[in-house]
Chains A and B, each alone.
Chain A
Amino acid sequence: MEEEIVTHKQLKKLARRRSVLAGIAGSLILAATPLVPAQAQEGLGTADNPVEIRIMANEAFANSWQTTLVPEFNKKYPNVHVTFDGVPYTELLAKMMLDATSPNPDYDVLLVDDPWVPQLAEIGALMDLKGEQIAALTDADYDWGDFNAAPLAAGEWKGIQYAVPVRSNMLLRFYNRSLYEQAGLPEPTPAQTWDEFFSDAEKLVRDTNADGKDDVWAVDTYFVRESLTPTIWQSILNANGGQLLDESGAPAFANETGQKSLEAHKRLIDYAPPGALGHGFSESLQAFRQGLVANMFNWGSVYKSTAVDPKSTTLTVDEVGIQVLPVGSAQAGAHRGIWIAGISSKTEQLEASWAFIQWLTSKEGESINAALVGSFPARKSTLNGAPAEPWLGPVYKTLQNAYEVAADGQMWRIRSPKSDAAQQILADEIARGLAGQVSAEEALNTAAAKISKVLK
């Protein structure tokens, strides 16, 4: 009991200790006050102590961004070292998820394909870019409202903005003006319907050297068994007023519109070069660049290498037209394929990571990205402003049109944490339908049943 009694002396001792502790704490606070701006500076590095951020990206463009865009970024932020690691597209999502779920992820910034945001958001891999933490680091003149709705929506899931467009892409129609002229056909317009397209296609398959064999064809695009092939069928489906899923999230494509659209996709093979059933991105691009096909449905981002750069194409800017896909019973066609950048929720370099993304997606960064590596912008002001190169003028006009078309027809892949599984099922079944192994009806019924199960 004696020990529990607190004497007056002891109380005085405690009070003295408290005052000493308070003094020390006060001194520490005072000492730390000048450190606040210094720490903010450290978030973006100093000359003596630079910070490093690592970015996981598609190997298709990681290297060119490293060598071309990073030096531009470093002009403004010299103390942030940026390292891009390129990963093949087919392994990118799995590697991102594996990294994001580790206790100490290697990557600060993730460059994500259009349908992946729900999957990464569901596992808590990405930060809310409009949340308080990042809002405090965002420049006052960073204009979210300037983004076109369709590309910005690619980075959003359940009302939260997890990522922002850095390399906007749309499935577009490229056409060769010379081949249209040689076939005696007028240049197509964005108002051309699928029926008119097929009518022209018959005349575009020709034997130009009179050796008895056709040597130019009407069209080439994705027919091979891979996950992007269904985007062609889907753009026809959407143009005909169909949708992949209904409002309840159930498959809504296994119907007459879906079948008609798959049959139209299959009919394209009749006007495509031999072996087209094995053609995808590279093969169709190669055929178009060599002047062997009059039309190509492919991603808009290939325009520069298809029409401008003589090292990679036999065509010139004057020869290559670009517009949205033909009009179905409801509207024109397109398909969204946006690369978006998000920040890892476990990053220790938040300020530097956001500085990079903010710069890259600012009006200035978008223009540099477009001019130097040919990436397409998502901002209305960039698309409507003066293009950095003359050839970008018609391309930007088409892109703006395609964003609007895609937004109207909801022309994007399934938005779900299981979107890749659903896309793979579509790839399998569309491939069977195109190869004639099953009817369009059976292919779509099978796909619908499987997707319904996967999305449950």
Chain B
Amino acid sequence: MSTELAKETRAAPTRRRGRTGDLLVRWSFMVPAILLLAVMLAYPIFYTIDISFSRFDLSSFGAGEWVGWENYIEVMDDYRFWESLRVTMVYLVIALPLQVVLGFGIAFLINAEWAGRGLIRALFIIPMVVAPVVAGGMWRMILDPLWGILNYWLGFIGIGPLDWFGDPTLAMAAVIIIDTWRWTPFIVLIATAALLALPKDVFEAAKIDGANWWSTLWSVAVPLLVPVIAATFVIRWLGAVKMFDIVLAATYGGPGKATNVINLFIYEEAFRSLRFAESAAMAVIVLIVTMVLTGLFLYGSRKLEELF
């Protein structure tokens, strides 16, 4: 017993050394990543927060005198901020469900065996690789009431001419069309991969049980796809909430302020009006709102997964 105790006593520091060494090795692998994250992610965020509580000093191009909540109060008092948030919400509420439904619907259609499916899938990638500013400019030409080809075609079926950039509702529709054209293929790709990964035996069982196309879709495919749909929605939400480049190129936020999304407003306040402190305050508010909503969506998606 005493020999074993002596052995134990001798082994304890060795184990401790081993554990410490192990910890050191682990941390040495993590330190570069932590440093990189701190520099690339945390520093800009803390810098933005610092600016948002300061008067921006243009002569040093950095945070100057500490002003507390002044910038936040000013932003909250600005109807343009709330108006931009409202416009962003309208865009998100329409564009996101539309893109998810279209994306999964198209994926379901092209998932069937038919000639040319591969080519169509390849073509679907094109809008995603077009720069947003180019997409906005290109669609601006297509939708232009004077020179655009869309109004010309619509004329053949007795519609129009539509003033896509002069009517507030149509301008928002134009932004949603452009954004949907750009991002639906992304959802199609994810949905196609998810559909291919679904277990075939479940579908075969449904077929044997006599389920029709609709029943198979609604009662088999959709429940199995819910986790993917929820995850796709969250990913797309995070992308869509940042959108401003398409608006900048297509409608300039107009007519009036009909398509002035929040990120365009923040961009303009910062880089055109040089009101960096106020725009930093807006960016912080938007960051918090986005984080809260993302948290809610993640919670909701987990609940949906449990439900199905």
Q: Which residues of A contact B (CB under 8 A)?
A: 90-91, 93-94, 97-98, 101-102, 119, 122-124, 224-227, 273-278, 280, 283, 286-287, 292, 417-418, 420-421, 424-425, 428, 431-432, 434-438, 446
Contacts and interface: CB of A to CB of B under 8 A. Distances in A.
A92 B79 CA distance: 28
Contacts of B79: 446
Chain B's interface size range is 20 to 34
B58 A428 contact: no
A287 B146 CA distance: 9
A420 B164 contact: no
A122 B165 CA distance: 39
Sorted from nearest, which 6 A-B pairs have the closest CB atoms?
Answer: A278-B165, A275-B145, A435-B256, A225-B254, A277-B166, A421-B273
Contact of B60 (A91, A101, A227, A425): A101
Contact of B273 (A101, A283, A424): A424
Contact of B255 (A119, A124, A287, A431): A431
B255 A277 contact: yes
Contacts of A418: 274
- In this complex, the member of B166, B168, B171, B271 whose beta carbon has the largest number of chain A beta carbons within 10 angstroms is B166
B258 interface: yes
A273 B146 contact: yes
B305 interface: no
A101 B146 contact: no
B161 interface: yes
A274 B144 CA distance: 9
A434 B60 contact: no
Contacts of A292: 146
Contacts of B86: none
Given A276-B166, A437-B168, 7 more contacts: A101-B60, A225-B254, A275-B144, A420-B273, A421-B275, A428-B257, A431-B254
B269 interface: yes
B251 interface: yes
A93 B274 contact: yes
B131 to A, nearest CB: 14
A75 B40 CA distance: 48
A101 B59 contact: yes
B51 to A, nearest CB: 14
Contacts, number: 109
B55 to A, nearest CB: 13
Contacts of A432: 256-257
Given A101-B58, A421-B273, A435-B168, A277 B257 contact: no
A233 B224 CA distance: 59
B145 A98 contact: no
Contacts of B165: 224, 275, 277-278
Contacts of A437: 168, 255-258
B272 A97 contact: no
Contact of A277 (B254, B270, B275): B254
Contacts of B270: 94
Given A274-B146, A292-B146, A435-B168, A225 B271 contact: no
Interface of B: 58-61, 79-80, 144-147, 161, 163-166, 168, 171, 251-258, 260, 268-275
A97 B271 contact: no
A119 B275 CA distance: 13
B58 A434 contact: no
Given A274-B163, A275-B165, A277-B166, A97 B257 contact: no
B251, B260, B271, B274 — most chain A CB neighbours (10 Å): B274
B149 to A, nearest CB: 14
A328 B43 CA distance: 55
A126 B284 CA distance: 34
A424 B270 CA distance: 11
B61 A90 contact: no
B258 to A, nearest CB: 7
B146 A275 contact: yes
Contacts of A90: 271-272
A225 B275 contact: no
Contact of B61 (A97, A227, A276): A97
Given A98-B61, A101-B60, A124-B59, A434 B256 contact: yes
Nearest to B164: A275
B58 A225 contact: no
Contacts of A421: 273-275
Contacts of A93: 272, 274
A274 B145 contact: yes
A431 B254 CA distance: 7
A443 to B, nearest CB: 9
Contacts of B251: 278
Contacts of B164: 275, 278
25 contacts: A91-B271, A94-B270, A97-B58, A119-B274, A122-B59, A124-B59, A224-B255, A226-B252, A273-B145, A275-B146, A275-B163, A275-B165, A277-B166, A278-B252, A278-B254, A287-B146, A417-B58, A420-B272, A420-B274, A424-B268, A424-B273, A431-B255, A431-B257, A435-B258, A438-B256
A446 B163 CA distance: 27
Contacts of A436: 256
Nearest to B254: A225
Nearest to B256: A435
A110 B252 CA distance: 27
Contacts of B144: 275, 278, 283
Given A97-B58, A292-B146, A278 B255 contact: yes
Given A101-B60, A287-B146, A435-B168, A274 B161 contact: yes
Contacts of B166: 274-278, 435
A102 B253 CA distance: 33
A98 B57 CA distance: 11
Contacts of B253: 225
A102 B61 CA distance: 8
Contacts of A446: 79
A275 B252 CA distance: 14
Given A224-B254, A225-B257, A428-B80, A277 B271 contact: no
Given A101-B60, A274-B163, A424 B269 contact: yes
A273 B256 CA distance: 18
Contacts of B171: 278
Nearest to A287: B146
B254 A435 contact: yes
B168 to A, nearest CB: 7
Nearest to B267: A90
A122 B60 CA distance: 12
A372 B254 CA distance: 37
A154 to B, nearest CB: 19
